[in-house]
Amino acid sequence: MYSEEIEALLRNKRIEVGDRIVVFKKGKRYEGILMPRIELGDKSCLILKLDNGYNIGIKFEKGVKIKKVRKEWKIEKPKAEGKKILIFDKKLPLISIIGTGGTIASRIDYRTGGVYASFSPNDIAMQIPELREIANIKVEQIMNIMSEDMSPERWIEIARAVAKEINSGSRGIIVTHGTDTLHYTSAALSFMLKDLPCPVALVGSQRSSDRGSSDAVMNVACAANFVTNSDVAEVCVVMHGSISDDYCFAIRGTRARKMHTSRRDAFKSINELPIAKIYWESRKIEILNENYRKRSESKVRVDDKIERKVALIKCYPGLNPDIFDFYLEKGYKGFVIEATGLGHVPTLGEYSLLPKIEEATKSGIPVVITSQCLYGRTHPTIYHNLRELLKRGAIFACDMLPEVAYVKLMFVLGHTKNLEKVKEIMLTNLAGEISERIEYE
């Protein structure tokens, strides 16, 4: 946690995080509670919470002395929780909640002011009384991370856990997840879960579950209603549809995008209608988009072959084309460019990306063009410079979201490295990620 020198001194004086201590430095006296060092903080800086509630950092240097006053409180790490079944009514169907962490599984430590991923799926289920009238619940926590720490390897772990629950008889699955990268995971599961026979709802919250303003209760309740009572068999994101506590949207996993840092209705369905609107109090499920996969009796299988070395590059004025050299030297197998407008990238002078794109495609490395506009689609034939990209082998990803194209290219390259085959699959609608197929030369 702290530097080796500080840790040795703390051990020698039997001081732990949570103890009240006094620090003497350069004739000044500081008293407070020893706090854990923040992850990115200076290892040689002691963190004290003063009695006024503020935290201060004290640089540990020669001559600094520390004295323990007493133990104030103890920080306990959350314990991992295994599987647990909550039977409310034997007549109700069984659904599964798989916990991965995130704000929805977090609580505030009011002593430190920090938010920790420390609620279990069982905690979440038990604080939502509505669930007792909807379904029996099987809960399992498979990881406990904030969503910024999500990774392709963890996508695979989640997909396998979901498939296991479905094939064991669960009527539907809820995956609790942090919101910031939830749409990456929803896209990954959309491509990995084949022959899906029931709904999988990814659910997060914008406020930690122990806050009065938390949106977790309604989101989970609506998700439970959706996976239990709808006939949809797709991966969806289920979150608030407005800033009020009235309804949630079920958004196709390849169409969801977090569009606000903190609003309850942060997630929007891009370039198509949400699949369904789920009302909280009445529990009515209103289908808004009839184009969806329906329930079946099939067994789901996991296709988790992915190529991790894919780069997502945002295009901006002054982007140095040499960035491609870095990735190529590192052995990257594919690129997704988040271009401007209809798919524009710099094509003139020293900032032109054309030579690098051509170099990559001639080497058999696909370059996929998406738009950072999000709404609308790329179109390679309207402007001359777009046609130049097309001539050099760039693949225009229609109206696919950049994050979805990134995940899909990882998936496609996990199955083939043949450039023509990659292009064919990237332009094939696998999981609702493309709303319309446009042929072009």
| Active site amino acids | 103, 179-180, 258
Q: Which two tokens stand for residue 153?
A: 């390897």
What's the rounded Cα separation, in Å, for the pair 100 and 121?
Answer: 9
- The closest of 189, 139, 184 to 159, measured between CA atoms, is 189
DSSP per-residue codes, 83-101: -EEE-S-TTSPEEEEEEEE
What's the rounded Cα separation, in Å, for the pair 283 and 148?
Answer: 32
Contact 24, 59 (CB under 8 A): no
Identify each DSSP E strand in 130-246 by its residue range.
136-145, 173-176, 193-194, 200-203, 235-240
What's the rounded Cα separation, in Å, for the pair 231 and 209?
Answer: 29
- The closest of 354, 361, 365 to 319, measured between CA atoms, is 354
Q: Which amino acid is at 411?
A: F
Tokens 């009384």 correspond to: 129
Tell me the torsion sign for CA atoms 44, 49, 50, 55: positive
- The closest of 430, 407, 404 to 254, measured between CA atoms, is 404
